[in-house]
Every structure is written in C-alpha cells, then in structure tokens.
C-alpha cells in the first residue's frame, strides 16, 4: 500500500492550536500515515507585511509538532526563495519523496473557492488529492459554481453544511480525488494572535507553550518589552 501523506501548507505566522487540530482530525479520519507541514517562503496571495522570517516560522512549527509522532516538517518551499506556488511544490515533493506515496493537499473551503486563480489549477487537481475543510462563513453548496470541478450532489453538499454528514469523496481523474470534510469549527486567526502579542495580551490559550516561549525569546511580532 502506498504511504498516505497529508500536506498542510501555510505561512504559520505563527502556527497555532487550530493548525494542530486540523492536522489531528484529518490524520485520524482519513487514515494518514504522516502529516507534512510545509511553511511557505513567499506566498503569492498574501502580503509580506508582518510576516516573520521563514527561519523563525519553520522553527516554531518544529517546536509545535514535537508531541505528535505522525507530524513532520518540510523546508521544500523555504529552500526556494521565489514565490511559492502549490503546483511547483507538489512536483518537487514527488521528485524528493519515495515513489510509492499518495499526497493529499489540505485546504480550507475559503481558499479552495479561489483555486481557479492558482497556477496551473486544472493540472493541479489531476496530480494530487485535495482535502477541502469546512470553514466558518462559507458553505460547500458554493462549490458547484466553480468551473473546474466535477459534478457534486447538492443534497449531500447541503447535508455537509448542516452537519448531517461528515464527508464526501468525488473523483477528479483516474488517480485523484477531492474529499470534502466537515470538521467542528476551530476559528483562530493568526492576525488576531499577532495583534494580541503586540498589545502584550495573553495568547497561551491559542498557542502551544513551546511556540509562545519561542516568540517571547526572539521578540517576534513587535512584542512590548516586559
């Protein structure tokens, strides 16, 4: 059997409890052998303002995943200084990993609704599996409006939105699928965490203790002097 690897990319600016929750839930429900965290270098859809250096974001992810044996980290995007496009990352991963793997790209529904604007979006949907995770303020019934996707039953999408069903799997090619996965809400904003850090307000309920200590030690996000 091929190794099933979930890919969780992002700026992780900083990594927080919701990232870890998503990784735990998807790993358990989809029977992943491994979840690979991929901190981005220069994400194409986000401003670099207030973005901590990649070396610090990588180190924070390393600290956060220590208690989780199935969680690993890759520097594949940080090694390439140019803008990080998902299609290029997937291509490089296939070159670097064991050939007997299945890759599952984890993405929030809000971001997936913009996939038509991604580099080589149609090809990307053919080369790896996607796992689309429920997000507050967005509904799976928005998906049929996207031109790149296969047909999906509206009644099942509605059931996902209403919490009456947990997942739906549809094929995008002979070897690739999209899994829609409804998870209990976990709405933590990294931007809110950064705002609280700048104001000197507590964030321990949102961050792993090791990450909070790292931020304090390296004075990230313009923290006030204590």
Which domains are assigned to the chain?
3-184 (3.40.50.620)
Nearest to 170 by CA among 142, 131, 198, 135: 131
Torsion 149-21-187-215 (CA) sign: negative
Q: CB-based contacts of 55: which residues, under 8 Å, 6+ apart? A: 78
Whole-number Å distance between alpha carbons of 185 and 211:
22
Nearest Cα to Cα of residue 107 among 208, 3, 6: 6
At 162-202, the pLDDT tens digits run: 999 999 999 998 899 999 999 998 878 999 999 999 999 99
Over residues 27-53, mean pLDDT: 84
Any idea how long the chain is? Answer: 226
DSSP symbol at 69: T
Report the pLDDT value the prediction gives residue 1, as an integer from 0 to 100: 86
Q: Whole-model pTM?
A: 0.94
Tens of pLDDT, residue by residue over 100-139, are 999 999 999 999 999 999 999 999 999 999 999 999 889 9
Structure confidence at residue 47 (pLDDT)? 57
Using the predicted structure, report yes or no on whether residue 61 has a pLDDT greater than 90.
Answer: yes
């Amino acid at each position: 059997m091929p190794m099933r690897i979930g890919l969780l990319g992002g700026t992780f600016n900083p990594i927080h409890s919701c990232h870890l929750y998503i990784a735990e839930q998807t790993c358990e429900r989809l029977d992943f052998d491994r979840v690979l965290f991929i901190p981005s270098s220069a994400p194409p859809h986000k401003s670099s303002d207030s973005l901590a250096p990649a070396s610090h974001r990588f180190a924070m992810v390393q600290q956060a995943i220590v208690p989780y044996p199935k969680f690993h980290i890759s520097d594949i995007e940080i090694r390439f200084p140019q803008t990080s496009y998902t299609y290029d990352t997937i291509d490089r991963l296939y070159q670097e990993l064991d050939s007997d793997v299945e890759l599952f790209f984890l993405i929030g529904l809000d971001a997936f609704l913009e996939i038509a604007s991604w580099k080589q979006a149609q090809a990307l949907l053919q080369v790896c599996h996607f796992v689309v995770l429920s997000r507050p303020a967005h509904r799976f019934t928005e998906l049929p409006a996207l031109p790149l996707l296969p047909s999906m039953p509206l009644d099942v999408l509605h059931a996902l939105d209403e919490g009456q069903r947990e997942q739906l799997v549809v094929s995008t090619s002979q070897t690739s699928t999209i899994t829609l996965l409804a998870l209990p809400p976990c709405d933590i904003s990294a931007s809110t965490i950064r705002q609280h850090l700048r104001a000197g307000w507590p964030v321990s309920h949102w961050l792993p203790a090791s990450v909070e200590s790292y931020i304090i030690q390296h004075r990230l996000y313009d923290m006030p002097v204590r």
